[in-house]
Structure 1
Amino acid sequence: MTAAVKEPSMLLQKEMIAGNYEAITSAPETGRKVSSTFVPGNLNELLMCFGIVNNLPEINAIQNGMRRLSGDYIMEAEKGGHSEDVCTYVKADIGMMGRGNIAPNGKPFPDPDVLLLSYTGCYTFMKWFELLRAEYKCPTLMLHVPYTGDGHVTPNMIDYVVKQLKEVIIPGLEEVSGVKFDIDRLREILALSAKAEDDLVWCLESGKHKPSPIDAYFGGVYYIGPIFTAFRGTQEAVDYYTALRREVQARLDAGQGPTTPDGSVLTDQKYRLVVEGPPNWTSFREFWQMFVDEGAVVVASSYTKVGGMYDLGFRHDPADPLRSLAEYCLGCYTNRNLPSRVDILAQYVEDYQADGLLVNSIKSCNSFSAGQLMIMREVERRTGKPGAFIETDLVDPRYFSPANVKNRLESYFQMIDQKRRGANKAA
């Protein structure tokens, strides 16, 4: 199989992620402290105030999945007693630890100096960090973020999170790092976050055009890489999203679609989809190519919002730093209740003029998969557009069946065609 052809922005973000891995693995030599934390609700800007380098276990699992290493790591974890039903990100991480804990750059990960858990709707994060705490025996800081079970954020919720930031998280990071907290430094960082967020939203909303110049699911995972990981709040992120916006604008001006894995441009876009749920990483390119072969482009997705719902208007605000961090954590997609998710997805179908909603149900991810069938049915009812349901997994190659996925996709596109013919006859 030939190497996938990537857009310039994809190569740039790959360099950025590689640079962060180098910063992590060289920490014992540079003297920098290392945190482990998660993508939804991550406090990257706050960590930067203390000079702490950010390591994200989910991203490590994704990297190992795309490099076809996660299957062996998962088996290693299961041999140690972890159930087949446990999140495969967790098992890939635990298994990697048992195999030397080697980073993508070939160097060993240092032990974290602090575990920072912003709990945002996924209970697995807590159990995952219990395992890591038992292994590393380092300080653990938990920011408890109330679940928005009623569908909205209250002032009391914000005050509760801010109180923890002031009394638990910031003092804990000061102790770990030996650096005094500087709120003016945080303001400067948050201003850079907001600038990058503006350009990211512009790029993602370019999917409303016909043809769409982006794929907001497969291409989108590259676009969100810097801002969802260790670069939100940096000048590097601002520069990246400025470059990405220029790249997308050039395709818009030329009437072009996004680059596909084989290097062609997807201009004959027969189907416009909204996709719910994360991708499969172990067969990422093959999965993407199935959509390309059918002329399907994803114009909006929920997965590209797990690190922040910026398209709903939120921006990190340097004028009110701690409150802004609290609002960010509370508003993450995984912290929203099912009716809220239905509202978001139904609006995407309408706003992006999509042909329907496709759900990729992840076997081991309860945070996403719970309630997805109800979500699909309700979006169908509201929009009048057909939905479909496929099943894969995050980084476990045993649960990606190419033939089954392909058959379901083909059936779905036939359903869309049939719906279109019925509409034409009615007209």
Structure 2
Amino acid sequence: MERLMSQDVVKSPSQLKQKEMIRRNYDKITSGEVKVSSTFVPGNLNELLMCFDIANNLPEINAIQNGMRKKSGEMIVEAERSGHSEDVCTYVKADIGMMAKGNIAPNGKPMPNPDLLLLSYTGCFTFMKWFELLREEYRCPTVMLHVPYAADGRPTRNMRDYIVKQLKEEVIPTLEQVSGIKFDIDRLREYLRKSARAEDDLVWMLEQAKRKPSPIDCYFGGVYYMGPIFTAFRGTDDAIEYYRLLRAEIEQRIEQGLGAMTPEGDMPEEKYRLVVEGPPNWTSFRDFWKMFYEEGAVVVASSYTKVGGVYDYDGFRHDPEHPLESLADYCLGVYTNRNLPTRVDMLARNVIEYEADGLLINSIKSCNSFSAGQLVMMREVEKLTGKPAAFIETDLVDPRYFSAANVKNRLESYFQMIDQKRRAGGSGPATPATMNKRS
């Protein structure tokens, strides 16, 4: 968040902590002194990688960093010149273009070729094609952990056993071979124990958005709050310390009756409470956020802050007593591996339990994992909650697909719709009891 805060806003201890964590991780990756794995955010096996002293490099995070630095546009054009379609995921094209332009990491140092490609497939088919492109480029050892799609809404015991079998027979032996380190399950247990501690504070933080005013924004602010859990820090003392600091800061905001923090300071008045489905736009992130906080709109829950793990919906925590099974459950349960009825249920519960005014969908042009079925989801959530919903469209890191005027007009129309709904007295939202009956 430190890149977005204006110069006169003092950075909090948690912001400074996260900035230092990110810096050290990129320095580690580019040092040439450690083995490096390229992997993806949803279902990533960070605790397992740490058992083999392998650094975790995440291509999506690199694309996001380049998007926020206004560099992704030229990288995407470079990838399209080499034959990649305009409709391909812009994370992929930003990564391919980054390689074509020297593969410079956000710290300004050359990104080393990975020693391993590790894919935990969790519902996004594009990840598989991206993985194939990286394999052709780097020609290093590769391993894929296939995660069955939970088509019926809930994973089965057979699915879990299938993943554990792959971990034992394919993933761990490959990690041992690449690293030269023998697998120590007690080391994994310790990392998982640390993950669970940080995850407890994470869920506490998310649930504070039920307060009025909400002391946090769970979409724009949330992408920073979720970063350590989703990326290379889950299972570390750094993550525990980060969430301890963040929790203390939120507790202080609650005591002072403050609303959500924005890049320009505290939100003066909370007028609208929203649940948002879909990723944010990164190339115009601050301008996008500004459209919300200038209208007094705070996001109290979002699906994107569940893309790297769903902890507040069904109580999942990494379990050191069942280490490999816990990794399997984590992969099976991430948001992109859940079917549409489950996503609808999750969003509707958020609207009701967080007393939101409605659901806003940001449909991403190049992301099928999120965008498929969103209009149906929107109508279903409206029926279940009695709250109005709206639909906007942007993209991940392609600046050509962010129309500020169009987005702003749609948002203003949506806020007017909410006002009209309030004046009319609404249509009577569902209650947690009726939602439980539906489930």
Q: So what's the TM-score if we normalise by structure 2? A: 0.95
Unaligned regions of 5+ residues in structure 2, if any? 429-439
Matched, 1:175 2:177: yes
C-alpha deviation, 1:424, in angstroms:
7.7
Equivalent residue for 2:399? 397
Equivalent residue for 1:228? 230
C-alpha deviation, 1:295, in angstroms:
0.2
C-alpha deviation, 1:3, in angstroms:
5.3
Matched, 1:88 2:93: no
Residues 323-359 of structure 1 deviation map (CA, whole Å, 9 limit, x = unaligned): 0000000000000000000000000000000000000
Alignment length (residue pairs): 422
Return the alpha-carbon distance in structure 2 between the equivalents of residues 120 and 139 of structure 1.
Answer: 20
Question: CA 1:269–1:178 in structure 2 vs 1: closer, same or farther (change >3 Å)?
Answer: same
Q: How does 1:345-364 map to 2 (within 5 A)?
A: 345-364=347-366
Equivalent residue for 1:274? 275
From 238, 241, 249, the equivalent of 1:239 is 241
Equivalent residue for 1:287? 288
C-alpha deviation, 1:17, in angstroms:
1.2
Return the alpha-carbon distance in structure 2 between the equivalents of residues 383 and 137 of structure 1.
Answer: 50
C-alpha deviation, 1:258, in angstroms:
2.1
Return the alpha-carbon distance in structure 2 between the equivalents of residues 10 and 82 of structure 1.
Answer: 37
From 157, 161, 184, the equivalent of 1:155 is 157
Equivalent residue for 1:64? 66
Residues 16-60 of structure 1 deviation map (CA, whole Å, 9 limit, x = unaligned): 11211010000x2x2x10000000000000000000000000000
Equivalent residue for 1:16? 21
Q: 4+ runs of 1 displaced by more than 2 Å? A: 1-12
C-alpha deviation, 1:260, in angstroms:
1.0
Question: Given residue 278 of structure 1, which amino acid in structure 2 is its aligned partner?
Answer: P
Equivalent residue for 2:141? 139
Question: What SS does structure 1 have at the residue aligned with 2:359?
Answer: strand
Question: Given residue 24 of structure 1, which amino acid in structure 2 is its aligned partner?
Answer: I
C-alpha deviation, 1:425, in angstroms:
11
Return the alpha-carbon distance in structure 1 between the equivalents of residues 204 and 243 of structure 2.
Answer: 10
Return the alpha-carbon distance in structure 1 between the equivalents of residues 112 and 83 of structure 2.
Answer: 25
Equivalent residue for 1:370? 372
Return the alpha-carbon distance in structure 2 between the equivalents of residues 279 and 160 of structure 1.
Answer: 34
Question: What SS does structure 2 have at the residue aligned with 1:310?
Answer: coil
Question: CA 1:425–1:176 in structure 2 vs 1: closer, same or farther (change >3 Å)?
Answer: closer
Return the alpha-carbon distance in structure 2 between the equivalents of residues 343 and 156 of structure 1.
Answer: 24
Question: Given residue 233 of structure 1, which amino acid in structure 2 is its aligned partner?
Answer: G
C-alpha deviation, 1:261, in angstroms:
1.2
Return the alpha-carbon distance in structure 2 between the equivalents of residues 381 and 198 of structure 1.
Answer: 32
Question: Given residue 281 of structure 1, which amino acid in structure 2 is its aligned partner?
Answer: W
From 337, 343, 346, the equivalent of 1:344 is 346
CA RMSD of aligned residues (A): 1.3
Question: What SS does structure 2 have at the residue aligned with 1:240?
Answer: helix
Q: How does 1:183-222 map to 2 (within 5 A)?
A: 183-222=185-224
Return the alpha-carbon distance in structure 1 between the equivalents of residues 190 and 266 of structure 2.
Answer: 39
Equivalent residue for 1:319? 321
Return the alpha-carbon distance in structure 2 between the equivalents of residues 236 and 399 of structure 1.
Answer: 36
Return the alpha-carbon distance in structure 2 between the equivalents of residues 38 and 417 of structure 1.
Answer: 41
Question: What SS does structure 1 have at the residue aligned with 2:276?
Answer: strand
Equivalent residue for 1:111? 113
Matched, 1:406 2:411: no
Question: CA 1:133–1:182 in structure 2 vs 1: closer, same or farther (change >3 Å)?
Answer: same
Identity %: 75
Question: What SS does structure 1 have at the residue aligned with 2:261?
Answer: coil
**Counterpart contact for 2:387–2:426, Cα < 8 Å:** no
Q: How does 1:20-99 map to 2 (within 5 A)?
A: 20-26=25-31, 28=32, 30=33, 32-99=34-101
Question: Given residue 278 of structure 2, which amino acid in structure 1 is its aligned partner?
Answer: G
C-alpha deviation, 1:66, in angstroms:
0.2
C-alpha deviation, 1:14, in angstroms:
2.1
C-alpha deviation, 1:7, in angstroms:
4.3
